[in-house]
Structure 1
């Protein structure tokens, strides 16, 4: 009897090991497939676009003539857009997370709010474009300017920042706050001096992911009516603008007519990837410094 039980145990273990190895192989193949596809895309983009990146391409204005086309206006528009998205997203996102986690009373209302915030993270980006067009472009009559585009993109990535900030705040050990209260600190002093510094690395991680999505989105800007061919450079929040993803989108559409537009689109993708890499690198350096400190 003991021998039979021992044999069954061995068979179950072998079956579990087999299933584990099977799923491990499936996950490895899925990861490998994604890496291969990404490598093919990167090789194709760099092959087609690297020769078109020069000083004239980076400094010239947009043009209908491929040989004279430049992306300085799109670069400035992207930077102006991020100048709106970063502070709005950080202030509203972190503030909402602090209120939900540390001030709001636990109950059905907070549960409904939490569920809706989590669901908003999965709403298609074009829906946010329609919302931005209704509120900022038509109701507030801002038009297709940097401020309207930045606020629309902030709405798009705000749920990501809120959810990640709540998780980071929730991960702070409770004894840190209790020790602060025990020393006579107020609730806000505890949040400002203990909770926020300890949760800042996690908050910055979520913000990096959110900004990476915002800088590459096109659908909301298309709905807002952001132009692809804009000669004047944007110089303020109320100026019309275009961004690198919009330029890539329209040059890709024109590539079927003029081959050079495909090469220009590839070159613009390289520039966008470099900008994304630089912005993420700065954010990661700041996050690591706070992580080491706290």
Structure 2
């Protein structure tokens, strides 16, 4: 029941604020796994992998909508994709080798950055053009690697990068959605592979992905995401976004407290 509720809330905030929901899923999953005594010393890894798997359908649905509106720069996606796939997949090996404490610190520090970005609502100042293929591959590697370490779809990194390169915001968001799909797929596969055969994981787990939680989240997030998108046009989203950012900070702090 808790996973269904998490899916409903994740879908709502994803539609309302245009985010993938990993920043909410990871700390809540960590708390739920701790309460249910699931995962043992690998609870943080299990939360990261499960979150990545749950992001895949959300990223696909978002990509289809933005593609229909002609807001995806496919040549840019094609050039970033190799770096994204490599960076994301390699980072799952790094994450699997790290103890839970540094992983929790990395996640919490990054979410503090995202939360401050949401509170200030500061847009990057366009200052240059898109780099060539090598630059886009390198940017994709960095975005994918960090996204895998903190189990997000990469929007909080890709959108500012593209906006900084003079890509219009609606197109930056649409292109980011397309980049988010290979991040989620490579991340989920990487966490499944790295957790394969690990002792102490609960039943119905494939690697570091706990499928009862992932499927419950996906089912309900798909139902509530359209509601969130409709509410975005009726509610004071700027203030709600700031309140949500404060909640993300609180959840990250609670996750640190639980781990340590």
TM-score (norm 2): 0.33
With CA pairs under 8 Å and 6+ residues apart, which has the higher RCO, 1 or 2? 2
* TM-score computed with the length of structure 1 as normaliser: 0.30
Could you say which structure has the larger radius of gyration? 1
